[in-house]
Amino acid sequence: MNPFFILFSVITVVSVLISGALLLVRRKSGGRWRNREHIHSAVFEFFTTLYAFVIGFAIVTLWSAFLTAKMNVTREAESMMIVYRTAKHLPGSEPLRQAIASYVKTVIDGEWGEMEKGIMSPEAEQRFEAIWSRYYELKSDPNQLGQLYTDLTEAARQRSYRSTMLQSNLYPPVYVILIFGFISVVFSLYFINREPTVVSLIYEFMVIFLVLSCVYFVFDLDTPFSGLIILKPDAFQTVYLKMLSLP
């Protein structure tokens, strides 16, 4: 079953439960809360605007980080492919090319699964170091070796960037604001809706559903390599297949 269908089904159920809870609390209160206006509509509008700004800021920031991580992964894979192709024309480069292919295979089969847990694979790190060892064993034209060194350095840099993206990309206070803001929205809906009707109750459900969806989107997008919205090793898989197809 599609995980997004399950996710939004859960959010729908939670939204219905919260909306229903608000209705039940209103009925048990005996209408005492309707006697006067507890929260001015202008204050509620200012609060929701500020909260929407925080959510929008978080989403834009994390989406930008997600796209940057995707670009870095592509650059890393392309750098490994360039090194592999360049080394193919150098004498005695077979051990280097085997080390590159082994590293790419390890990233696909092992490291990507470890990254979902928030860690890099020690085995992949060792295989990357083995590439450097095979590189230093080459005896060829200094210009060609210099180009290989540049491309390997670029791959190492992108690998380092990939490791930094495993952790949260938002400051913890932002999460406090998001959670507290959601609780405040529900609290405000209880008092702002003084004459509940079918339309207003449906509107409350829509607001709660939308806010919950946005908050989850922020939490899930915070780590590009774990959750439902994740980067996949497609770039590495494409590069690995190209390596296997080269004679």
Q: What are 103-143's pLDDT values in tens digits?
A: 999 999 999 999 988 899 999 999 999 999 998 888 877 77
**pLDDT tens, 213-230?**
999 999 999 989 988 888
Q: Where are the domains of the chain?
A: 1-30+171-221, 62-168+230-245
CA nearest neighbour of 90 among 153, 147, 155, 139: 139
Asked whether the whole model's pTM tops 0.75, one would answer yes
Asked whether the beta carbons of 158 and 72 are under 8 A apart, the reply is: yes
State the residue for tokens 């729908």: 12
Asked whether the beta carbons of 204 and 19 are under 8 A apart, the reply is: yes
Task: Measure the CA angle with vertex 198, ends 30 and 50; round to 5°.
Answer: 85
pLDDT for 31 equals 57
Rounded CA-CA distance 40/46 in Å is 10
To 10 degrees, what angle do helices 122-136 and 142-164 make?
170
pLDDT for 130 equals 94
